Chain A
Amino acid sequence: MKYKIGVDIGGTNTDAVLIDSNHNCIKAAKTATTQDISQGFATVVQQVWTEQEPITGVFAGTTHAINSILEAKNLCKVGVLRLAGYQPDTLPSCFGWPDKLKQAVLHQCITLDGGYECDGREITPLNEYATRCAIETLANSGAQGIAVNGIFSALYPPQEQRVRQWIMDDLGNDFPITLSHEIGGIGFVERENAAILNTALQNNLKTGFIKLQDTLKKIGIHSPFYLVQNSGLLMSVEEAFKFPILTIAAGPKNSFTGGARLAGLEHAVVADIGGTSTDVGMIVNGYPRRSYKMSKVANIQLGFYMPDMLSIALGGGSCLTINDGLIQIGPVSVGSALRQRSRSFGGDQLTLTDAAIALGSVSINDVQQMMDKPLAEKVLIQAFQRVYQLYEKMAGANVDLPFVLVGGGASLIPSQYLSPQVILPPHWACANAYGAALSEMGATINTVIKLEDRSRLMKEYEQQVLSQAEQLGAVSPRIIEREVIPYHYSADKIAKLVMTAAGAYNPS
């Protein structure tokens, strides 16, 4: 028997599970996330693994990148090269970003000749001399990385690729660089935002990911280590060095897929009830439904696909305010300080966990019951109703969909609400790590095709992407994404093609 380890490094807790090749959850562990994330990582991995269990792979989802962005910490200064030969100045780089983050990240933006029209004509050709001078200016004045963004580069990448070569000529192969077309689609501002943040994260995340990799070696696990991407697919550590921004939404994705699979379901609505907030998502055919609204992180538009998600500020640490029988739950939470600040633990703040303890739906040793039962029951009914409202919104017309509850706060929901349709699956507290362990290996092709050759090209690319996925270790991969975006304004009828193939990871 071979095993896999899934780890979820969250803002509050780090979870791990060990699963066998039949996807049974063998062991689970949870600990508080540590300042240096590799410590908590080491703790949980050691708790679930012994040398008797041979490991195929260790898969981790981490909030490291998203927290760096939210706290504007450990980011490097990024110079921006815009390829836009008509020299627009109506939208400066990082416009509308939170001040603190902008100050931490943006070094300087230089607009250069280049860019394309939608039909592939160059707005102006690149100017090699001016571009090389700009690269030198950025590096000499203290830029620690460079993001390159050209008009319509998502459809026509060659100019950005030439600029990367010039940067590498001058600053070497290790200098952090992001080409916007490699991480974004149409949408100049969103693509540039993502490219800048990606560049800013590269150095620090590289250090963090290497530490996790080294930790595993020290523990004695020498099997491949992968990170979970926003899409739910695995990414090699080397890829993650280049594209750390692609790891920011792995957390909710892992909880939703993990929750549905723990309950044995391919279609379900899943609630991840944490300490501070509850996220609700929908699983269709085993995958999280994507949101098509513009994704925002720290109030910055990134233009990524993220899991379709509804959130409310309600979790185990939510503070309770009770006035004349009127109960207000949250939005403030004691978060990770639950065991210091909650009344039942001797603290000063009444929380949702106190209500659950009073009602007996959560049993913890050596705590006092701080609420009377009827009140506690009213509080928990209200909490469940608010979570259930998200289910109703998410499910829409699909009123028969099961509702799966997971996350550290899932047990707060009184058992009387559980039914064949409202499910608390086994290992509910570690659904996120279980979701990480189930992550699949995949390959993506992102290219521009001529529509007249569409059917022939689609078949060719299907074969190509399937064999790429197989080479990476995916077992009997299938096409999970096939998107053709016709570009109707161009003369020769072209379209952008995005195709992804994926399968369970099991390298031969």
Chain B
Amino acid sequence: MRAEELYSGNMAATVAKMHALYGHRLKTEDYNQLMSCSAVTDVAGYLKRTRAYSKPLEGIDTTLIHRGYLEDLLRRNYFENYFSLARFEKVADDEIYNYLTIKTEIDEILICITHINAGTDDHIKTLPIYMNRYTCFDLNHLAHVRSFEALLELLRKTPYYEMLARYKPVDGGYINYRACELTLRTYYFRRLLAAAADLHDDELADHICTLIDIINIVNAFRMKKHYHAPPETVKAAMIPIYNFLPEKRFNALYEADDPDEFTALLSKTIYGREAIKEGLSFESPESAMRYIRYKRLRRSFSMATTPPLCFFTYNHLKNIELDNIIRIIEGIRYQLPVTEIVKLLITD
């Protein structure tokens, strides 16, 4: 599909549907109610009474629900809504509508590598088996993988084989997880950017670029703060795609001596200025960056008239909502005070 084709009547219906669905999102009042719950079952009960989550929780006895199962149900609901929208009005022909499948494949491959390195065999517990019909390899088989060779064998007919084959460890040593992750994530974002370019959708490309920038900023900050990593180590771990922040600016961030200097340098960037304008605290640059991205997504979604942009922003906003709910569930499970939970949420 090309940009000029995006404004047809059917497409308008798709956009309208997404806007209507977004009207059912959780509002600040809902989050307050959820955070005031004393048990996970109360959270499930409250969600069951909301318009957005009544259907996935319809047949579930929320008074007995297991935390893990609730999270599983919510994730599955997110995936199902995603695919239902992608199928709506046959918009799924474009590459951009497959981004969640590619992301899931990459995520599961990386989890599998973690299990191989750790020598554990319980990947099956978290595997989204319901995604099996969309992925380009069998997720059930992925659960049985115990070595890098077996993983490569499973991925032989997929684009991931070529990318990962070069990281085959010598003499049964550890797999270079960081290199694998960087390669796969870079591949993912390049594919997304190519899809946006095909659609001539600059705003969509901007969102992908923002996402890359923010991932790099957050990861660099963590490496600086928790591991005091040297500039070259940080740079080697970053996705090498530069967008709104030029490479020079990123290099300056990587060279910061401590988190304070990092934050000071960040405040002078386009994202830092936006954060200051929004009145955000740099106490947690991660939260500030995530919030900026959220605001940008909200702004674009509310103005979006083309299905790809609307689809991309809508699903990312829903993903943020899902993350918020899961953070609340975890917070309640670990008995965090509401004042702490609220810091973890990204809301209006």
- Asked if A pairs with B, the answer is no
A residues with CB within 8 A of B: none
B residues with CB within 8 A of A: none
